Structure 1
């Protein structure tokens, strides 16, 4: 009977592999899957067929784009993010009040730029930077301000 080759179970080797993985960009299939969700949400809101989930998806992409740009991957200005926040707030208000979840042409153009930047970031930023930005977003969603999150990082 043939013997199986044992895999190296050395914890140092596992840590080294994990550390190397965190330095590499996200696998292409994973990045494409995340990008697709954002593009589908953007299209639904452009056509006036969106819902609260689509608006939330764009909001999360907007925040992650800003955080990743802050980390040095892609460009997003404070004014651009502030304007996009106003656009998505209006979409939430309109959706809640009328049941119509949509973006006007200007809002669509702003979020198309954000979606394109997000695509670039997912393909270029190391997984550790994306994981850190995602963690910051999760803590923000949990009620912490970005200032509290920044203090914890320091």
Structure 2
């Protein structure tokens, strides 16, 4: 019985060490690629006037995430939070007649830059930082 509990304890510690090391690595590239593709598709939908409320909310969260990661030292976002807020607010002003949302040209250009920085951040920031960010965004929404 004692050997079994010792081996379980050793296995748990080894798993914790491996998990701690994985937390220091960036997200796997296949996950980053999938998320990036989703974000870019949503941005294009908003640009073409086919954006949904979900795509607008997602761009808002990505903008917030990019600003927070930039403040944490991952990438440089030259635009401030209020500029992002203003861009999304203009689109939130109301759906088009068909119920879709649209980014104007300046909002589209701004979020092109945001997604470029966010793509770089997701390839560099460690998993632990991404998890911390996700929890912070959950609390704020």
What is the TM-score when the length of structure 2 is the normalising length?
A: 0.88
Partner of 2:117: 117
After superposition, the CA RMSD in angstroms is: 2.1
After TM superposition, list the pairs within 5 Å mapping 1:1-154 onto structure 2: 10-77=11-78, 79-95=79-95, 99-141=99-141
Structure 1 residues 17 and 63, CA gap change in structure 2 (3 angstroms): same
Cα distance in 2 for partners of 1:110, 1:47 equals: 15
Question: Counterpart of 1:94 in 2: which secondary structure?
Answer: coil
User: Post-superposition, which runs of at least 4 consecutive aligned residues in structure 1 deviate over 2 A?
Assistant: 96-100
Q: Deviations over 1:90-133 (max 9, x none)?
A: 10112288734101111100000001111001011001111111
How far apart in 1 are the matches of 2:94 and 2:67? 24
**Number of residue-to-residue matches in the alignment:** 135
SS at match of 2:95: helix
1:75 shift after superposition: 1.1
Do the aligned residues in 2 keep the contact of 1:91 with 1:101 (CA within 8 Å)? Answer: yes
Distance 2:31 2:98 in 1: 35
Give the Cα–Cα distance (whole angstroms) in 2 for the partners of residues 127 and 97 of structure 1: 41
Between stretches 91-100 and 33-42, larger displacement belongs to: 91-100
Contact 2:48/2:102 (8 A) holds in 1: yes
When normalised by structure 1's length, the TM-score is 0.81
Inter-partner Cα distance in structure 2 for 1:48 and 1:132: 33
SS in 1 for 2:121: helix
Return the alpha-carbon distance in structure 2 between the equivalents of residues 13 and 47 of structure 1.
50
How far did residue 70 of structure 1 move? Answer: 1.2
- Which whole-Å CA distance do the structure 2 matches of 1:55 and 1:118 have between them? 16
2: distance between equivalents of 1:57 and 1:50? Answer: 11
CA contact (8 A) 2:53 2:100 kept: no
